[in-house]
A and B are shown apart, each in its own frame.
Chain A
Amino acid sequence: AQSVTQLGSHVSVSEGALVLLRCNYSSSVPPYLFWYVQYPNQGLQLLLKYTSAATLVKGINGFEAEFKKSETSFHLTKPSAHMSDAAEYFCAVSDRGGNKLVFGAGTILRVKS
């Protein structure tokens, strides 16, 4: 079965600092991986996805993620944090046989001024 582990339920960075949110996956089929962001009282918004094309995936709002098969990782990064990046971030893997997403537990990002 597919699963996702997000290391660190809370991450705190200073404004302008590097953002690194960690995601490791387990998948019995070629993985398709997604990062979503959720702001308070809102649904999830897709940041980026990996679908076996380029291993370095660029997303919206300056985020990017690199698929590393040898490390079974798909970490999310952003060179310079902005206050508006404060939110909860979810990594997900697409399960076999359709459109079911298996989510990690989420990481709450706090940005300090």
Chain B
Amino acid sequence: KAGVTQTPRYLIKTRGQQVTLSCSPISGHRSVSWYQQTPGQGLQFLFEYFSETQRNKGNFPGRFSGRQFSNSRSEMNVSTLELGDSALYLCASSLDGGRTDTQYFGPGTRLTVL
């Protein structure tokens, strides 16, 4: 079974621009979560989507948004980029998003904001 895939793997943007990251979950998985990883703040939860609905949201500003499509693929968007948005963005998928469900992570998208 193919794992979680994320595209692109690397991105360079400038302040003020917006960016869209894509995540394809493992086949059959309906829950997709996004995390931001930075050296200073570590791994932080952004949001979770299940059956095209945002079910859970972390403590990030409204510039961070996402969506999920009917095939469970997910995108996250960051508008008006700031230098502090430079990070590794990880996507994880799981079968049904329960508390004991294993989340399988993709390789991440490395975003650099100049």
Contact = CB atoms under 8 A, between A and B. Distances in A.
Query: Do they bind each other?
Result: yes
Interface of A: 32, 34, 36, 41-46, 49, 51, 90, 92, 94-106
The SS class assigned to the B binding surface is: strand
A105 B4 CA distance: 24
Interface in B47-103: 48, 50, 55-56, 58, 90, 92, 94, 97-103
Given A34-B102, A49-B102, 12 more contacts: A32-B99, A42-B107, A43-B90, A46-B102, A98-B55, A99-B50, A99-B56, A99-B97, A100-B33, A100-B45, A105-B42, A106-B42
A43 B101 contact: no
B56 A97 contact: yes
Closest 9 CB pairs of A and B: A43-B105, A99-B97, A103-B43, A51-B100, A44-B105, A94-B99, A98-B56, A43-B107, A100-B45
A52 to B, nearest CB: 8
B13 to A, nearest CB: 20
Interface residues of B, number: 28
Given A44-B90, A99-B48, A100-B56, A94 B105 contact: no
A39 to B, nearest CB: 10
A99 B43 contact: no
B25 interface: no
23 contacts: A36-B105, A42-B107, A43-B90, A46-B102, A46-B103, A49-B102, A51-B100, A92-B43, A94-B100, A98-B55, A98-B56, A98-B98, A99-B48, A99-B99, A99-B103, A100-B33, A100-B45, A100-B56, A100-B58, A101-B33, A101-B35, A101-B103, A104-B42
